[in-house]
Amino acid sequence: MILLLIVLVLTLQLKAKPVDTTASVDAEKKLRGFQHIIQELSAENAELKERSESLEEEITLLKEVRSASDDWLQADSVGGQAA
């Protein structure tokens, strides 16, 4: 998000100031570089969100299995004492 703001500010600065062609070309290259970085970070962020959601689901399932296992062990322990 911060990089997006930086790119926006640079874009506005480029449009606001008349500059020579070389400086303008250099600024445009930097701007494209920032845009590329933002795209890569956005893609990586999406992948990390998916991975995080997957891990959260896995944790929920493991908790359910553990709870069921604990319940089974407790029932088995109570049944073993009665015998």
For the question of whether the overall pTM of this predicted structure is more than 0.85, the answer is no
Report the distance separating Cα 33 and Cα 44, nearest Å.
Answer: 17
User: Do 25 and 39 meet the contact criterion of CB atoms below 8 Å apart?
Assistant: no
Q: φ, ψ for residue 43 (rounded to 5)?
A: -65, -45
pLDDT of res. 20: 67
Q: Which residues contact 7 (CB under 8 A, 6 or more apart)?
A: 31, 34, 35, 38
pLDDT of res. 9: 75
| Per-residue pLDDT tens listing for the chain (83 residues) | 666 677 777 777 666 555 567 888 888 899 999 999 999 999 999 999 999 999 999 999 999 999 999 999 898 887 666 55
Q: Is 17 left (phi over 0), alpha (psi -120 to 50) or beta?
A: beta
